[in-house]
Amino acid sequence: MRDAAAGLFLGLISGTSADGVDGALVDLGPDGRLRAVADRTCLPLDEDLRTAVHAAGAHTLLAEACALDRRLAEAFAEAARRLYARAPETPPVRAVGCHGQTVWHRAGDAGDGATVQLGDPNRIAALTRLPVVADFRRGDLAEGGQGAPLAPAFHAHCWHDPSRDQAVLNLGGIANLTLMPADGPVTGFDCGPANTLLDAWARRHLGTPYDNGGAWAAGGRVDHGLLARLRADPYLQAPPPKSTGPEHFSPAWLAARCQGDEAPADVQATLVELTAATVAEALVAWGPAGCERLWVCGGGAHNPYLMARLQAWCSGMAVASTAALGVDPDDVEAAAFAWLAWARLNGVAGNLPTVTGAGRAAVLGGIYAP
């Protein structure tokens, strides 16, 4: 596929919130640099499918997992079709990079890691008539890595600046950092919970998918006793490489640390503070000493209260959305998987061993022909 070096690639991802499929149609140059995000979409998942995703895990029966695999593939394919149908005059899409929907991820330290992303790429290829690149995480696990996070390779490829120490923060279900010193290896890791707990608490107490703009949290008060108990979790102090997910930072994890008499809005405010504090502490502990800028992407970038608390904790550092880099914060993760498809077709390593702990840089993903 020598002619696949440049052109349009379509990235698809559904995060831990499972509220929808994010898609980005991305124009990549011959060197893999991001030239433009040509278009984007978000296809909401219906409530029944979202509930099934949240209920899935290591305990899920095989027949149920297979049915969910098919339904998610159809949703991913529909998002891709809608996106490309809006631009019929564009050049052909070279490939679709699909992360899939993670329903289980365990980062093992003894070669026993396991990860499951549903959304059958064979079915996506058949429905879209486009080549699909998928199953990225298991390639890194096979090399002894954590299997995540994978976006740092894209961040570094497109945004590393040899004149400036900076970092990228993705505020998805889990907060993950990419640390990009001006001179030195790029590193990155999952630093703690973000929207996975904030959204779950909002669903429970507000009956809404999320706390719009962080307004509910802003009306609460930080419970410093609860915050101390949350921050005491050993994962938050563990050195990288490390990755985690809602399997660890779950509603049950939160409930075990609550005393039961906390005001719900105060818990929400405390969860925002937890995210901001753990990001700041991770930057101090593991980031470049002179880090000047923190670029924020993911759904959390639209939460003004969370962004304000991040800026308060990261004093002396400019905290800004990736929109200032020309990429909407909602597009970054989908664009990363478009780039990973480009990397697979061009034989470029899609992981960074300094991020995942893999034994070597490896070309990730399998190619599924239509």
Domains recognised in the chain with CATH numbers: 2-147+331-368 (3.30.420.40), 151-325 (3.30.420.40)
Per-position pLDDT tens, the chain of length 370: 455 577 999 999 998 888 899 999 999 999 999 999 999 999 999 999 999 998 999 899 999 999 999 999 999 999 999 998 876 667 889 999 999 999 998 886 666 789 999 999 999 999 999 999 999 999 999 999 999 999 999 999 999 999 999 999 999 999 999 999 999 999 999 999 999 999 999 999 999 989 999 999 999 999 999 999 999 999 999 999 999 988 899 999 999 999 999 999 999 999 999 999 999 999 999 998 889 999 999 999 999 999 999 999 998 899 999 999 999 999 999 999 999 999 999 999 999 999 999 999 999 999 999 9
- Ramachandran category for residue 184: left, alpha or beta (phi over 0 → left; psi -120 to 50 → alpha): left
Radius of gyration of the chain (CA): 19
Question: Could you tell me if 322 and 119 are in contact, meaning their C-beta atoms sit under 8 angstroms apart?
Answer: no
CA 359/CA 148 separation, integer angstroms: 14
Alpha-carbon torsion (213, 150, 16, 193), positive or negative: negative
Residue 224: CB atoms within 10 Å? 10
* Beta-strand pair 114-118/132-134: unpaired
HSE (CB half, 13 Å, CA atoms) of 75?
29
The residue written with tokens 């895990």 in the block is 57
**What's the pTM value of the predicted model, to 2 decimals?**
0.93
Question: Could you tell me if 12 and 133 are in contact, meaning their C-beta atoms sit under 8 angstroms apart?
Answer: no
CA 315/CA 299 separation, integer angstroms: 22
CA 14/CA 117 separation, integer angstroms: 10
How far is residue 290 CA from its own chain's centroid?
25
CA angle at residue 326 from 324 to 327, to 5 degrees? 100
Residue-level pLDDT at 1:
44
CA 262/CA 27 separation, integer angstroms: 49
- Ramachandran category for residue 183: left, alpha or beta (phi over 0 → left; psi -120 to 50 → alpha): beta
The residue written with tokens 């499951």 in the block is 116
Question: Could you tell me if 364 and 140 are in contact, meaning their C-beta atoms sit under 8 angstroms apart?
Answer: yes
List Cβ<8 Å contacts ≥24 apart for 325-330. 325/159, 325/295, 327/34, 327/37, 327/297, 328/37, 328/40, 329/296, 329/297, 329/298, 329/299, 329/301, 329/302, 330/22, 330/40, 330/42, 330/297, 330/298, 330/299, 330/302
Residue-level pLDDT at 319:
97
